[in-house]
Amino acid sequence: MSYELERRVALDAVIKACRLCSAVQAAHLGGGVIDKEDKSPVTVADFGAQAVVSDHLALVFPHDPLVAEEDSALLRRPENARLKEAVLKHVRMITSRLSEEEIFAAIDRGNPGGGAKGRFWTLDPIDGTKGFLRGDQYAVALALIEDGQVRLGVLGCPRLPLVSFQGQAGSLFVAVRGQGSAVRGIEQGEERQIRVADIANPSDALFCESFESSHSSHDDMGGIVELLGVKRPPLRMDSQAKYGILARGDGTVYLRLPTKKAYVEKIWDHAAGCILVEEAGGKVTDLNGNPLDFSQGKTLVKNKGVIATNGKLHQVVLEAVKSVIGNQ
């Protein structure tokens, strides 16, 4: 399959979501934040972006399930009435035809469980919510999965400059299995094909890790880069934007090193980024060298951590990871 229609629809959906997120930031809705049961923050933009993407996909692919992070339960609580009104307002700025219940239904389309059979989309409406709140990096991440394999990924990064951390912000990445990876501006500009960095010496590599130390062990990263003789300090950045800069050759290695043994990664945190790097010529595995398994429902339960590289450095990085933290 060429996935031409899916590619176009996914790009349009993510562009709409990025516009909503930028509008929420411009409105300075700092008070539009609540904590979920796991204590992670959720914002007007999380709910709004999920509603916009879900609605757009349903118009063209009404039978495709959506596996996503949020649901409308918190918005329905009376104590969150102000948050709800802000969500409704910003969704209607993008899609004016939707009623309140239709917006809630669009959000709640994201509750199926995924799995090894059939076709579904997976979405993180804002990957890197804390980065979003700080005015730093975040991403809208959408991927299409068929029979447990990621077939298409779109990553919208409204705060990421289009070229090597300079110039106008707003990068939109897209990859289709077997067709390579590309990047363009969110609002304008032609697509250009991208490739990972042609670096074979780890000392010349730029390593990337999560900004939040609770998401990935900074101490273990320090031991790994020291062992490999890496010259530059790791780049700390929120969200799957790290996959984007790796795919376009600005970064070389991205490590997600668990801080808790029981933690299991979610599929929406990696599906779009994984295919971007692989289609740009890179390699993505877990800390034991196994491919990421997107066939197990909403989580990567058969994997521990993530190693994404330009391919040439993968084996040496994998060995360094095992030397520092052992087999997982």
124 contacts 68 by C-beta, under 8 angstroms: yes
289 contacts 282 by C-beta, under 8 angstroms: no
Catalytic, out of 43, 95, 122, 129: 129
- Residue 194 CA: distances (Å) to CA of 116, 249, 276: 30, 8, 9
Q: Which residues pair with 120 in a beta bridge?
A: 145
Strands 192-194 and 180-185: antiparallel
Task: Name the nearest CA neighbour of 255 among 206, 199, 182.
Answer: 206
**CA-CA distance, 158 to 246, in Å (whole number)?**
17
- Residue 156 CA: distances (Å) to CA of 41, 140, 160, 190, 223: 20, 5, 9, 15, 32
Q: Is 252 among the catalytic positions?
A: no
Catalytic, out of 46, 220, 250, 269: 46
Active site residues: 46, 129
